[in-house]
Amino acid sequence: MAAQRGEFSSRLGFILAAAGSAVGLGNIWKFPFEVGNGGGGAFVVMYLIFCFLLCFPVMVAEIAIGRKTQKNAVGAFVALNKPRWSFIGKLGILSGFLILSFYNVVAGWAFGYVIEMVSGNFDIGQHFGEFVSNWMRVGLYGLVFMGTTAYIVSHGVQGGIEKAAKLLMPSLIIIMVVLLVYALTLPGAMDGIKFYLIPDFSKITGPVVYSALGQAFFSLSLGMGALITYGSYLNKDQNIIQSTAMITLMDVGIAFLAGLMLFPFVFSQGVEPTGGAGLIFITLPGVFEELGPNMGVIVGSLFFLLLSFAALTSTVSLLEVPVAYVVDEHNVPRKRAVWLTAFLVFLIGVPSLLSNGASSILTNFVQIIGMAREGATDHSFMTFIGWVANDTFLPFGGMMISIFAAYIWKKENLAEELSHGDENYKGSIIEKYINFAISFLAPVVLSAIFVLTVLSRFFGIDLVG
């Protein structure tokens, strides 16, 4: 069965592909600005703790479910004779579908900025609103990006996903290191490094802890079926614990490198280290311009190429989740499934594309439906879809996967699966911690994130502060 579906040719291929799924726009632009908003090093410390103590066990459970069943995110629960629990996989597929629909729009922005930087148009940052509201141009960039994603996925596990990961992930790391080395030569760079690396624990507040928890969970692609799907392409002789540790380290390492790279650029020009999308798409082009016309073009082009590569590693995994479902459960040939799914995702993403100024209704969607919150400046349909799919469905999915692995599939069966490729797993301290985490820690923490997010996003009740 696994051979017919395809499988990763090596442990390295699996690690790079799964790490690519986790590494995305969130690592390059969301993580640094979350660090900026969270006061610097204190946020980094909290993020690292949550990645390993909370996210690692959930990731292990997802991959183990996939490898045990050799099935997609829905079929895995049916194969374990728990068809009623297949709603977890269905919710994951829906989450990935919706996330990819708006993620592709942002990826289109990044790809468009590569073209702008190559042409030396540093003023694009001052005209960001005009750029994103030009739905035909951004839509074309997004179409190219979705086409590239579909092309990779259509070539299967080894010939497409794994091959692309082996090219994109090293390229991404090389670009980051080159930009980091250059950034460290800029005046004021060390002020950025100090802000980033020296923690001020007085900055740790309820909102900082909540943001660090959310960033850790979302950055590792948990709760959307991607790791179940990738796990289903994994050989029995692979050590899941070691592979998951490598994936987590790679994801955390790239996010950490992104901060090391970005803050020297920001502080060298005296820019405020907050702002999220604004920092990346509005402020940074001006920062690159200050480096001089030639160096600015090189550094700016490399940065947005890096952003595009990071986006592509994630869009590939997001598309593979529904494709695997269609191929497995409906016996549709892979290439047909890929292109039909990609086309449907692009169509579903059109409202998000239009919600950045092209349509007043979609641009002010949150306000129109009466869910605008005091102080909020983004009321777009794309923001609303992010609330639903990214902020709400994912923690719920992760919580349910933990409960399923611990109490429905049972910890003994999970341990049996994890012992393949790791004969010392049973009885180890790692087993004891993973059992504790999926039985108690993850369900409690993720249910808290879910409830707090729903209350805040949809009812305007902020209990975090």
What integer pLDDT is reported at residue 86 of this predicted model? 96
Max mean pLDDT among 41-55, 111-125, 268-282 falls in 111-125
Using 50, 70 and 90 to split pLDDT, how confident is the model at 277?
low
C-alpha to C-alpha distance for 221 and 243, rounded to whole angstroms: 15
Count of CA atoms in the C-beta half-sphere (13 A) of 66: 31
What integer pLDDT is reported at residue 274 of this predicted model? 61
Please check the confidence at residue 2 and state whether its pLDDT lies above 60: no
Average pLDDT of the segment spanning 298-309: 92
Please check the confidence at residue 464 and state whether its pLDDT lies above 80: no
What integer pLDDT is reported at residue 1 of this predicted model? 37
Average pLDDT of the segment spanning 13-39: 82
C-alpha to C-alpha distance for 288 and 305, rounded to whole angstroms: 14
Check: CB of residue 77 under 8 Å from CB of residue 328. Answer: no
Q: Residues 149, 57, 92, 77: what is their CA dihedral angle, to the nearest 10 degrees?
A: 110
Domain spans in the chain, listed from the N-terminal domain onward: 2-348
pLDDT per position as a tens digit, 333-369: 999 999 999 999 999 999 999 999 999 999 999 999 9
What integer pLDDT is reported at residue 32 of this predicted model? 75
Average pLDDT of the segment spanning 130-157: 96
C-alpha of 59 from chain center: 14
Tokens 């005296």 label which residue?
Answer: 270
C-alpha to C-alpha distance for 205 and 464, rounded to whole angstroms: 9
Average pLDDT of the segment spanning 142-153: 97
C-alpha to C-alpha distance for 245 and 141, rounded to whole angstroms: 35
Count of CA atoms in the C-beta half-sphere (13 A) of 385: 24
As a CATH number, domain 2-348 is 1.20.1740
Q: What percent of the chain has pLDDT over 90?
A: 65
Check: CB of residue 394 under 8 Å from CB of residue 95. Answer: yes
pLDDT per position as a tens digit, 409-424: 999 999 999 999 999 9
Average pLDDT of the segment spanning 266-285: 74
